[in-house]
Amino acid sequence: MHRARATDTTAGGTADRPGTAPRPVRRVPSWAVQGGPDDDEPFAAAPVISDSSPPPVRDPASPATAPAAVPAAPPAVPSLGRKVRSAARWSLINTVVMRLGNFVTGILLARFALGPSAWGVYGIAQTVLLVLLAANELGVGLAIIRWDGDARRFSPTVLTLSAASSTALYAVLYAAAPAVASAVGSPDAAGVLRVMCLCVILDGIAQVPAGFLTREFAQGRRMVIDAVNFVISTGITLLLAFDGMGAMSFAWGSVAGNVAALIGFCLAAPGTLRFGWDPRQARALLRFGVPLAGASLLALCVVNLDTLVVGSTLGSVSLGFYVLAFNISGWPVRIISEAARRVSFAGFSRLADSPQALARGFSRALGVLVTGTVPLCVLLGGLATPVVQLIYGSRWVPAARALPWLMALGLIRIGCELAYDCLVAVGRRRSLVGVQALWLLALLPVLVLAARTHGIVGVSQGHVLVAGGIVVPVFLLALSRAGISVRWIARACAWPFLGGAVMAVTILGLEWQFGDSRPALVATGSAALALYALCVLPSRHFLRGTALTDHTTR
């Protein structure tokens, strides 16, 4: 139901200590590195000796002063690969469950409680919130995940910076809310903006405890927190929506859920919510974070510029249709890409000093994402009208006209977001600002012209034109400079793209032959998925990682 936050790299997985995988070669402030090589493992526990272990056996022939026994070897630390796989599994389960819940909630609201105009107001508020969340903590929260050393030594300064900047940003938004709402063609959205954007402050405070969970790959704990957030926010949203509060129901539901999430983060990472201030740390954190915040802000502007253009050009009703179509197109992006991004940044960071390992890791991650996303995108794009009518009702059918193009955009976004995380992990933060700025500058005139000439369909087409024709080549060049050649990317995408083309032809042919009744839709979708599975079958060893191992050991 909600768009994913583009900068959301918070992740987790197990409660185990982070492994000792190779770390990126980069300068780290001296105050962040103290002690031994395990200083970046703040939650490390002392070894536990089991009471059930057999007593040591002394050799009768040995002197009494001889050592009683050879000390047992310390337990093996789980490898980075095991941690990432475990975290990815938990993250995928978490994301699927949450998104299915949001999907059902969206159906209930769209069918029985809210019309296109209310969805348009909600879309404006959600867009502004996401843009603010891109830069509310000035990018310093990622230092908890990225920097070596004991993160507890600089986390109080991170918390102070994050909370202060988030509060200041909310104060500006509160004063400017009426002007912002009027500028985007929805004056009624001012009150919703002021309430919903309280989440900016809550998010700024939660950055530090959430960052520690990410550092530990503690995705199991993260799933519990997200579940509590979902239950509370969804329950309040539904109650208020059916009580007639319209778009304001989303706002109060979001605030309540984020309050619960903040409490959960503090309980899951105890002792991390401490304020403090060190000017030297603050300067280093800002040098690290501000370029990231700038790139993230530009990325969110790129993703949400269409909402602002549609609202100001076509009005709240057309915006409601567009927001619904965009949310539908985000299903595969959120379910698959969001789960991956919660672990990808931490994983890429640990591979950043080995170009070959980074290239293999990125290629396999991209292959897994694209293989899982292509069939969803093709199904939703090829069967857009019957799917929207079946799920949301006939009054929402105008949204289906933009859906095929937005599904293509969603597939492109998945690759770009993974590339973004990889480039951040290898330290190419400033180049990302240039990529996002180019994307935004190219997109604005195209979307404005497309909205005025072809409505929401033109806006979705303009998105695909700019992303595929300009941004993808630029990202390919940036990845190549980071050591990831086009060959690795082509290997990841070749079989899924072939399968997607076969699926598209199958859907078009069967829909023309059998129509769009429910049994026909089920049969068409099943046949298309079966053919897709056959097409991607040759890539199974690559996706498991065995093909990469064989290739590099020959």
- pLDDT tens readout for residues 162-188: 999 999 999 999 999 999 888 887 888
C-alpha to C-alpha distance for 234 and 72, rounded to whole angstroms: 51
Instruction: Report yes or no: 101 and 253 within 8 Å, Cβ to Cβ.
Output: no
C-alpha to C-alpha distance for 462 and 449, rounded to whole angstroms: 9
Question: Chain-centre distance of CA 320, in angstroms?
Answer: 24
- List the one residue out of 111, 112, 135, 149 whose CA is nearest residue 27: 149
At 16 the pLDDT is: 36
Residue whose token pair is 């915006």: 319
- List the one residue out of 313, 307, 319, 7 whose CA is nearest residue 132: 7
Q: pLDDT tier at 420 (50, 70, 90 boundaries)?
A: confident
Nearest 5 degrees, angle CA 401-CA 184-CA 308?
Answer: 45
Co-location of 461 and 347 in the same domain: yes
Identity of the highest mean pLDDT range in 97-101, 164-168, 351-355, 536-540? 164-168
Residue 421 has pLDDT above 90, yes or no: no
Structure confidence by residue, pLDDT tens digits, 363-379: 888 888 899 889 999 99
Residue 398 has pLDDT above 80, yes or no: yes
C-alpha to C-alpha distance for 7 and 191, rounded to whole angstroms: 26
Residue 1 is assigned to a structural domain of this protein: no
Cβ partners under 8 Å of residue 54, min gap 6: none
Instruction: Report yes or no: 463 and 306 within 8 Å, Cβ to Cβ.
Output: yes
Co-location of 199 and 326 in the same domain: no
Residue 223 has pLDDT above 90, yes or no: no
Which alpha helices (DSSP H) does 393-539 contain, by range?
Answer: 403-425, 429-466, 472-481, 486-514, 518-536
- Summary mean pLDDT of the chain: 79
DSSP secondary structure of 160-191 = HHHHHHHHHHHHHHHHHHHHHHHHTT-TTHHH
Instruction: Report yes or no: 320 and 116 within 8 Å, Cβ to Cβ.
Output: yes
Q: What is the mean pLDDT of residues 207-212?
A: 89
Q: Which whole-number Å values give the CA distances from 84 to 231, 315, 356, 365, 386, in the listed order?
A: 27, 44, 18, 11, 38
Structure confidence by residue, pLDDT tens digits, 503-550: 999 999 998 888 778 888 899 999 999 999 999 988 887 777 665 444
Co-location of 360 and 249 in the same domain: no
Strand partners, 217: 13
The residue out of 288, 305, 334 marking a domain boundary is 288
Residue 551 has pLDDT above 60, yes or no: no
The structural domain count of the chain equals: 2
Residue 258 is assigned to a structural domain of this protein: yes
Identity of the highest mean pLDDT range in 17-26, 240-249, 430-439? 240-249
At 80 the pLDDT is: 58
Pair of tokens at residue 15: 């409660």
Pair of tokens at residue 6: 């583009």
C-alpha to C-alpha distance for 289 and 286, rounded to whole angstroms: 5
Residue 250 is assigned to a structural domain of this protein: yes
Co-location of 257 and 329 in the same domain: no
Q: Which whole-number Å values give the CA distances from 188 to 111, 191, 252, in the listed order?
A: 22, 7, 16
Greater model confidence, 157 or 94 = 157
Co-location of 241 and 382 in the same domain: no
Percent of residues, the chain, with pLDDT higher than 70: 78
At 88 the pLDDT is: 62
Instruction: Report yes or no: 318 and 186 within 8 Å, Cβ to Cβ.
Output: no
Structure confidence by residue, pLDDT tens digits, 298-340: 777 887 889 889 988 988 889 999 999 998 888 767 777 776 6
Instruction: Report yes or no: 498 and 370 within 8 Å, Cβ to Cβ.
Output: no
Q: What is the mean pLDDT of residues 461-490?
A: 91
C-alpha to C-alpha distance for 132 and 458, rounded to whole angstroms: 27
Residue 62 has pLDDT above 50, yes or no: no
Co-location of 110 and 165 in the same domain: yes
Residue 467 is assigned to a structural domain of this protein: yes
Domain range enclosing 341: 315-554
The residue out of 272, 288, 304 marking a domain boundary is 288
In the chain, helix, strand, coil percent, each to 5? 75, 0, 25
Co-location of 351 and 253 in the same domain: no
Greater model confidence, 551 or 497 = 497
Structure confidence by residue, pLDDT tens digits, 239-294: 999 998 988 999 999 999 999 999 999 999 898 889 999 999 999 999 888 887 88
Instruction: Report yes or no: 316 and 182 within 8 Å, Cβ to Cβ.
Output: no
Residue 17 is assigned to a structural domain of this protein: no
Can you give the pTM of this predicted structure? 0.69
Co-location of 541 and 444 in the same domain: yes
Lowest mean pLDDT among 36-50, 71-85, 186-200, 205-219: 36-50
Instruction: Report yes or no: 323 and 309 within 8 Å, Cβ to Cβ.
Output: no
Greater model confidence, 57 or 360 = 360
